[in-house]
């Protein structure tokens, strides 16, 4: 199995039932307003931006681009970005603003949840990588008023 298929399958195994991984427009479900279509694109080009989410999660469509980078595993990048989507979805559903860092406590909880969903599909090295990353955020991104829509794991 190539890496692209591997990461698509991993994404499908760990997302909530109301999310749908799509590679193109034809895969998307526009009939059910409760479904969140995630347009997952895997870019093999070495780029400093590892993962990127944008778009209106509340509108039921969210593009997600995953970049390969030698410093982080592609699995951790996927889980990290899906956790951002989970936070955005939760915030939209609650109709609330989140006054904390984009990697603050709410994100850390979402990331832990995503890790527990992925636990049996990823290797110990990736689990350790993610646990160290969450621990890092715990000490550096407690609570703040920074807000941002996009994310780069290397940028902070």
Which residues lie near Zn ion (CB under 5 A)? 151
- Least distance between Zn ion and beta carbon 80 (Å): 6
- Nearest approach in angstroms of CB 151 to Zn ion is 3
Beta strand residue intervals within 6-127, DSSP E: 19-22, 36-43, 51-53, 61-67
CB closer to Zn ion out of 38 and 151: 151
Least distance to Zn ion from the beta carbon of 38, Å? 16
Which single residue brings its beta carbon nearest to Zn ion? 151
Taking the least distance from each CB to Zn ion, the nearer of 27 and 131 is: 131
Nearer to Zn ion among residue 122 and residue 134 (C-beta): 134
- Give whole-number Cα distances, 88 to 2, 5, 60, 70, 85, in Å: 30, 26, 11, 27, 5
Query: Nearer to Zn ion by C-beta: 8 or 101?
Result: 101
- Least spacing, CB of residue 81 vs Zn ion, in Å: 7
Distances (CA, A) of 8 to 3, 65, 86, 126, 152: 9, 12, 17, 17, 20
Spatial separation of the C-alpha atoms in residues 40 and 62, rounded to whole Å? 9
Question: What's the CA gap between 114 and 154, in Å, rounded?
Answer: 20
């Amino acid at each position: 199995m190539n890496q692209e298929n591997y990461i698509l399958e991993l994404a499908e195994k760990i997302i909530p039932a109301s999310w749908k991984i799509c590679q193109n427009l034809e895969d998307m479900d526009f009939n059910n307003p409760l479904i969140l279509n995630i347009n997952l694109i895997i870019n093999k080009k070495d780029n400093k931006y590892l993962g990127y989410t944008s778009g209106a999660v509340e509108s039921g469509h969210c593009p997600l681009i995953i970049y390969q980078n030698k410093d982080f595993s592609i699995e951790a990048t996927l889980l990290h970005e899906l956790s951002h989507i989970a936070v955005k979805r939760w915030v939209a559903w609650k109709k609330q603003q989140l006054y904390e860092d984009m990697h603050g406590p709410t994100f850390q909880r979402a990331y832990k949840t995503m890790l527990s969903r992925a636990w049996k599909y990823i290797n110990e090295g990736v689990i350790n990588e993610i646990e160290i990353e969450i621990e890092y955020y715990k000490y550096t991104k407690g609570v703040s008023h920074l807000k941002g829509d996009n994310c780069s794991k290397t940028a902070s």
